[in-house]
Structure 1
Amino acid sequence: MATNPAAIAAEEVPAADRPPSGTLLAGRWRRLWTEMKRSRISYLLLAPFLILFTVFTIVPIVTSVALSFTYYNIVESPSFVGLSNYRLLFVDDDIFLKAIGVTFTFAMVTGPAGYLMSFLLAWLISQIPQRFRFFYTLCFYTPSITSAVAMSVVWLYFFAGDRKGLLNHFLIKLGVLNEPYLFLQNVDSIVPVIIFVSLWMSMGIGFLAFLAGLQNVPEQLYEAGRIDGIRFRWQELWYITLPSVKPQLLFGAVMQVVFSLQVFDVSTQLVGLPSPLYAGHTILSHLHDYAFIRFEMGYASAIAVVLFLIMLGLNRFIFNLLGRD
């Protein structure tokens, strides 16, 4: 039952006496144009962002969707093939299906784990004196802004498959192993290694957002909580801190989903492209293979559209879970 007064009034008007839908639409456009002219200064200030967002985000998305229905190899003009690219992806491309499995395995571990680690570390840092916070923040944030190429040098030495590899050296010295283990060549250990390194590099923008939100929770809320009977830190965290940083929790969750589904550099630098038996092959690795090695842009666009829809669906789920308030 309609409770909106305008909707009730519209229901009371007979259908024959209502204005045509085209007239209503034209009236809405006129009101929108009048509002835009009245707020033209605001729209003028928004124009640089809107132009850049349209050129570098909206146009590429629309172009990618259009190219996903074509065969396009850069040299020749695109030729329309309908849903052939999508049929090939989900029916005939076994490597893509394996890449989906690897990506979701990676995302299901690094997504929640990285999210919890980011929040807990930010919360712990917010509990220490102000003069020490910058040092600890820098220590945890630096790996996320260091290039994967530079970090791979360290981790390739750590996981090297000979006796000079740091991990193998200590395990053999402790008697856990009798001979070196091929961490980056064995299909059973490739994904765990990528997950471990990615978690090390996951303290990024979401971590900073959590830290900023935690530092901006009013002290008066904690004082009021102590008056109301809160005695322990975990009670402050549950009843005061978490409700106060919900916007940062939502932002961090969205960024973590994007990070976990876009794993590529770490996998490529550690185990190569393609990885042994495609054990570390992700959706973005598959996209890079077809776009910049085989130059099949139509097929690569179809992969990009599938990845975009997965991200969009997961982000909508997060918004429904954390954004209700």
Structure 2
Amino acid sequence: MSANTEAAVPATSAMQASPVRQGRMVRLWADVKRNKVSYLFLAPFLLLFTFFTIIPIFMSVGLSFTYYNILEAPKFIGLSNYKLLFVDDDIFLKAIGITLKFAFITGPLGYAMAFLLAWLISQIPVKYRFFYTLCFYTPSITSAVAMSVVWLYLFAGDRKGLLNYYAMKLGLIDEPYLFLQNVDSIVPVIIIVSLWMSMGVGFLAFLAGLQNVPKDLYEAGAIDGIRYRWQELIYITVPAVKPQLLFGAVLQVVSSLTVFDVSIQLVGLPSPLYAGHTILTHLYDYAFIKFEMGYASAIAVVLFAMMIGLNRVIFKLLGRD
């Protein structure tokens, strides 16, 4: 084949591809015009999502390759921030371990608790559901500052702390235990408080989904031989609320990886020997205390990548349909 013929092949391919792209754009524009009312309703959300989510993500990725201290213009330094994160920053590596430990404990436990409590509430009479829903949902909408007052009293490291008072009164310990200063008990305390506050939007989504499962499915199941509640739960309820399960799982991953307020209010910043130091706490330290925005952006990008990875796993498990 001659050189002219070989050169003509890519040109022909490009000419063929161009009408295809143009055809797709024409079809897209025709779809927009046909459904313009729907797109107008979507426009406010799309604008807000673009300006407050999409653009900040790209800006954060860009700033992660720079040195930026707010006062001076960003200076490009390549991968230096990431090298510092994973090679020289021992506190960040420790924060990753603490965050993953926290996520792998509170994530599944909080998820299971939210679903089981929602399922139990859906089994009681309707007139009592609002009261129980309010009781379990209230901690999640109460500020961490307000909740920390109760938990600080419970875990206080002196004789007036509720746990220490009763433990010493029963003769279990001889002197007060420093729950919030001992490096071995800091993470368990944060986990307990976070689980208490984990009945949030995911819990409400589970409850709404469970209350909208068609009754016909249960009647058909009874005809087919289902006799027990746990059989209904496994074979009917769980498949029927799969969209809510996916939604709750995504929320649980995000909340478990972004623990911050509880840790700050209970053990301070920095925590004793950085025992309660999470990735988001590390990000806050560099962004709003040290004002190293380039380095903080690199931390944010790593946290974002972890969220995306875990969410992809969840979508593979629960999002097949």
User: What's the Cα RMSD here?
Assistant: 1.3
1:317 is aligned to 313
Matches within 5 A, 1:1-325: 19-325=15-321
Name the CA shift for 1:16/1:306 in 2 (closer, same or farther; >3 Å): closer
SS at match of 2:226: coil
Report percent identity of matched pairs: 77
Cα distance in 2, alignment partners of residues 20 and 302 from structure 1? 42
What is the CA deviation profile of residues 98-141 of structure 1, one whole-angstrom value per residue up to 9, with x for unaligned ones?
00000000000000000000000001111111111111110000
Amino acid at match of 1:139: C
Cα distance in 2, alignment partners of residues 79 and 208 from structure 1? 46
Q: CA deviation at 1:20?
A: 3.2
Q: CA deviation at 1:219?
A: 1.2
Cα distance in 2, alignment partners of residues 145 and 35 from structure 1? 41
Unaligned runs of 5+ in 1: 1-13
What is the CA deviation profile of residues 186-205 of structure 1, one whole-angstrom value per residue up to 9, with x for unaligned ones?
00000000000000000000
Q: CA deviation at 1:232?
A: 0.6
What is the CA deviation profile of residues 154-188 of structure 1, one whole-angstrom value per residue up to 9, with x for unaligned ones?
00010000000000001111111110000000000
Amino acid at match of 2:301: V
Amino acid at match of 1:35: D
What is the CA deviation profile of residues 78-117 of structure 1, one whole-angstrom value per residue up to 9, with x for unaligned ones?
0001110000000000000000000000000000000000
Cα distance in 1, alignment partners of residues 167 and 30 from structure 2? 73
Amino acid at match of 1:37: K
What is the CA deviation profile of residues 194-248 of structure 1, one whole-angstrom value per residue up to 9, with x for unaligned ones?
0000000000001000101111111111111111111111001011100100000
Cα distance in 1, alignment partners of residues 32 and 137 from structure 2? 42
Amino acid at match of 2:128: F
Cα distance in 1, alignment partners of residues 233 and 30 from structure 2? 48
Cα distance in 2, alignment partners of residues 262 and 17 from structure 1? 52
Cα distance in 1, alignment partners of residues 248 and 180 from structure 2? 30
Q: CA deviation at 1:45?
A: 1.8
SS at match of 1:314: helix
Q: CA deviation at 1:21?
A: 2.4
Amino acid at match of 2:32: M
Q: CA deviation at 1:43?
A: 1.6
SS at match of 1:259: helix
Q: CA deviation at 1:324?
A: 0.5
Q: CA deviation at 1:73?
A: 0.3
Q: CA deviation at 1:40?
A: 2.2
Q: CA deviation at 1:41?
A: 2.3
Amino acid at match of 1:280: G
Number of residues of Structure 1 aligned to a counterpart in Structure 2: 312
**How high is the TM-score relative to the length of structure 1?**
0.94
Amino acid at match of 1:319: F
Name the CA shift for 1:66/1:15 in 2 (closer, same or farther; >3 Å): closer
Cα distance in 1, alignment partners of residues 23 and 214 from structure 2? 46
Cα distance in 1, alignment partners of residues 262 and 131 from structure 2? 26
Unaligned runs of 5+ in 2: 1-8
